[in-house]
Amino acid sequence: MSADHRFTDATALAQAFSTGEADPTEAMQAALERMERLHPALNAVIHPRPERALAEAEASAQRWSRRRADGDALGDMSDTGVPFDGVPMAIKDLGCEQAGEFHHAGARFLVDLGWRGSLDSHLYGLLRGAGLVSVGRTNTPEFGTTITTEPDAYGPTANPWSLGRSPGGSSGGSAAAVAAGIVPVAHGNDGGGSIRVPAAACGLVGLKPTRGRASTAPRLGEHRGGFAVDGMLTRTVRDAARCLDIISRPAPGDPYIAPPLGPDESFAGALTVPLPPLRIAVSTGSPGRASPPVRRAVEQAADLLARLGHRIEPDTAPDGWFSAELADHTIVVRTVGMATELAGWEERLGRPMTSDDVEPANWWSAELGASLPASMYVQALEELARWRRRVMAFWNADAPTGTNTPEGDGFDLLMTPVLADVTPPLGYLADPADGARRIAELAAFVNQANVSGQPAISLPTAVDADGLPLGVQLHAAHGGERLLLAVAQQISNADGFISLGDLPPESP
């Protein structure tokens, strides 16, 4: 973006469009220029669409001009919805299918085929309906199965805060594009921390919505045991809220439906609702699970919440939150999911998949999943359902979000780290000998919300001694995004965020 708008959020940029202070065509030209200039350093947007993006931005500029002429431009954005007409965005190259656009999911065999989407997904239709304009699709690890973005097919994406560091994954390309000032918002999805991890690594707001909040229609249904949900990476809480208002539209036949909002409620509207004192549990896991800088970041955020009037209870987490058996059962679901993914491609391509088609870790996962009996998969789902009911008793059903869960232990929120340490160097998590162990240690705080289906948000509240961002994570009860966003806005208003404008000199 231009010097004036490079780190402007989507809400402010749309406001500038509405008043004529900024022009969608010029903003898109600046975004495309920055995307092209930074690509050699970042490798974030791997499928740019400059001609189509510019044409769509020009159409947006004409619509804004007509609105201003008719007196319909929204100089004061409402809380019930914001027209992001002409605001640049990026789409992760995993899910969110776009008709005619490359869609490779980080997989070599799809690159070789030049595979393109054949339809617009329900989600992409909602984003385009809100006026957002995609600059292109972003890099992702193969099938999104890890928390760093280093696919063999496209090479690694760099973290704008430090180019030798991982941007996280699997929405790492999207996070890098937002953090580097290419776009103010970007699509991601989260099946095991894949929105929250890159948000923490890149100093962004990353909201994983409640299961079923964003539809996967029409292509996907029961995807990876229901662990994954789509969402957005943003610079501000208000953009996170307004993006959630845009994408929270179920489609007929969705296997999961999140608790609906009231007739006069919106996620953006929650940002201005006064909050009573909340009961917030805080946990950094067992001793040694989180590094000292991460523990300090969580403690500092907890101190801030205490100063805001909330009741903080340290060293407290739901019963079984860090259970080892959770990992055992999720491995079953994930490996069967990988086997199912490849079986689906076999059917679409009319040929068997081989070890030459996919990366070794995913081939191993698919072979293991294909070898497991169906009864083991069903048993794993049942065990995870029992775990989910056990941990849900922790949350307060009477929190100011209108959730409909049985009355629990009285906690409104749980705060934990996102990652157990600062984001590591590129290559550290992709190491073939030790990468799996390193990933398990670093990502010990994110899988729980995917299994439970709860909403969780990563907030950029601190930096370590080297100036690298650290994220803290808040979890709410099922359907509790309004509460998460309200508390996140409180933290933001209290100067509890790091600034993307303070990217270190090494960054692009």
Q: What is the pLDDT of residue 399?
A: 57
Q: Which residue has the tokens 């940029």?
A: 13
* 282-305 pLDDT tens trace: 999 998 899 999 999 999 999 999
Q: What is the pLDDT of residue 79?
A: 43
Please state, in angstroms and as integers, the Cα–Cα distance from residue 215 to each residue in 127, 154, 195, 223, following that order. Answer: 12, 28, 16, 11
* 50-72 pLDDT tens trace: 999 999 999 999 999 998 898 87
For the four alpha carbons of 331, 338, 425 and 195, in that order, the dihedral sign comes to negative
CB-based contacts of 325-329 (< 8 A; 24+ apart in sequence): 325/383, 325/387, 326/384, 326/387, 326/447, 326/448, 326/451, 327/440, 327/447, 329/380, 329/383, 329/384, 329/387
The answer to whether the CB of 194 falls within 8 A of the CB of 203 is no
Q: What is the pLDDT of residue 287?
A: 87
- Contact partners, residue 89, CB within 8 Å, separation at least 6: 10, 127, 132, 133, 134, 135, 183, 184, 185, 186, 187
Q: Which of 60, 121, 162, 170 is catalytic?
A: 170
pLDDT-derived band at 507 (thresholds 50, 70, 90) equals low
Task: Give CA–CA dist 215/229, Å, rounded.
Answer: 8
Q: What is the pLDDT of residue 5?
A: 81
Q: Which of 145-159, 272-286, 369-383, 399-413 is predicted with the least confidence, judged by mean pLDDT?
A: 399-413
Please state, in angstroms and as integers, the Cα–Cα distance from residue 368 to each residue in 51, 58, 158, 338, 364, following that order. Answer: 44, 50, 31, 9, 6
Residue burial 10-48, b: 16+ Cβ < 10 Å; e: rest: bbbbbbbbbeeebbbbebbbbbbebbeebbeebbbbbbb
pLDDT-derived band at 396 (thresholds 50, 70, 90) equals confident
Q: What is the pLDDT of residue 21?
A: 94
The answer to whether the CB of 94 falls within 8 A of the CB of 144 is yes
The DSSP letter of residue 72 is -
- What's the pTM value of the predicted model, to 2 decimals? 0.95
Q: What is the mean pLDDT of residues 442-462?
A: 97
HSE at residue 507, side-chain half, CA atoms within 13 A, is: 20
Q: Which of 18, 162, 166, 194 is catalytic?
A: 194
The yes-or-no answer on residue 194 being catalytic is yes
The yes-or-no answer on residue 170 being catalytic is yes
Task: Give CA–CA dist 124/117, Å, rounded.
Answer: 12
* 328-348 pLDDT tens trace: 999 999 999 999 999 999 999
Q: What is the mean pLDDT of residues 113-126?
A: 98
* 307-330 pLDDT tens trace: 999 999 999 999 999 998 899 999
Q: What is the pLDDT of residue 424?
A: 98
The whole-chain average pLDDT of the chain stands at 93
The answer to whether the CB of 208 falls within 8 A of the CB of 190 is yes
Q: What is the pLDDT of residue 504?
A: 58
pLDDT-derived band at 506 (thresholds 50, 70, 90) equals low
Q: Which of 92, 171, 208, 492 is catalytic?
A: 92
Task: Give CA–CA dist 46/461, Å, rounded.
Answer: 29
pLDDT-derived band at 99 (thresholds 50, 70, 90) equals very high
The yes-or-no answer on residue 208 being catalytic is no
- Contact partners, residue 179, CB within 8 Å, separation at least 6: 159, 160, 161, 167, 202, 203, 204, 500, 503
Residue 45 backbone dihedrals phi, psi, to 5 degrees: -100, 105
HSE at residue 138, side-chain half, CA atoms within 13 A, is: 35
Task: Give CA–CA dist 322/396, Å, rounded.
Answer: 20
Q: What is the pLDDT of residue 223?
A: 75
Q: What is the pLDDT of residue 425?
A: 98
Task: Give CA–CA dist 395/318, Å, rounded.
Answer: 9
% of the chain at pLDDT higher than 70: 94
| 3-state SS class at 457 | strand
Q: What is the mean pLDDT of residues 474-488?
A: 97
Cα dihedral 115, 118, 119, 124, rounded to 10, equals 10
Please state, in angstroms and as integers, the Cα–Cα distance from residue 266 to each residue in 205, 207, 292, 487, following that order. Answer: 19, 16, 38, 15
* 429-441 pLDDT tens trace: 999 999 999 999 9
